[in-house]
Amino acid sequence: MRTCDPKRGLLILDAAAQLFAKHRYHEVRMDDIAAHAGVAKGTLYRYYKDKEELYLALTIHGLQGLYEEAHGQIAGPGDPDQKLRDFIERIVRYYEQYPYFLELIQRIESSGSSTSLAALQDVRAQWFELVTDLIKQLADADLCSAEHPDLAALALVGIIRGILRFTPQPWPDHLAEWIYDLFMHGHARGEQNLSHVGNGAIAQSARGK
């Protein structure tokens, strides 16, 4: 049985995050993380049995932190439309700052590990409930249809994830605004406003994929 100090576990995750900010997944070794965290390799393995377990923990930790920030914003009082704008902006800026999370999530999804997928699904269930609540707030304010808030929530999450995953960085300054327009007003309106996004990277990326 592994006896672990939670503070040291967070220190290790922070070290891994710092390395990921500079290197690709396959370039970061457990030895590198141990050295960067200032712990022995044996200590590292007491916390995380392998690389996959460590990166799962890093991914869940990051998504939970982002969720807590978004929950405080959405659950509180305020204009639902502005909440939606701020929510999208927050998500875009987070993945802009920590782009490796998109790669980590993709790795977990393709890992085939039922344990990892279940852990990721638990976090996603929290996000789905939060975004559904935001859609209901928009519907209560007559800003969108109230017929299927769960499907609208799935659509919003899918739009954000798809665009961020397939649009190469650096992202245009108005990317969050464009995503908002696309979700609230449809593809035609989004295309009209695409010129405000900047250099056409979105359209070029879509064609390239």
pLDDT at 200: 46
Kindly state the average pLDDT of the residues 128-142: 96
Which domains are delineated in the chain?
Answer: 1-49 (1.10.10.60), 52-208 (1.10.357.10)
Per-residue pLDDT band for 22 (boundaries 50, 70, 90) equals confident
pLDDT at 190: 47
Kindly state the average pLDDT of the residues 131-159: 94
pLDDT at 100: 87
Could you give the CA distance from residue 176 to residue 164 in angstroms, rounded to a whole number?
10
Q: What is the DSSP string of 107-138?
A: HHHHH--HHHHHHHHHHHHHHHHHHHHHHHHH
Cβ-Cβ contacts under 8 Å for 177 (sequence gap 6 or more): 85, 193, 196, 197
pLDDT at 209: 40
Kindly state the average pLDDT of the residues 21-39: 90
| Structure confidence by residue, pLDDT tens digits, 77-134 | 999 999 999 999 999 999 999 988 888 898 888 888 899 999 999 999 999 999 999 9
Share of the chain above pLDDT 70, in %: 88
Residue type, 86: D
pTM beyond 0.85: the answer is no
pLDDT at 146: 76
CB-neighbour burial class of residue 72 (10 A; exposed 0-12, middle 13-18, buried 19+): exposed
> Are the CB atoms for 182 and 189 separated by under 8 Å?
yes
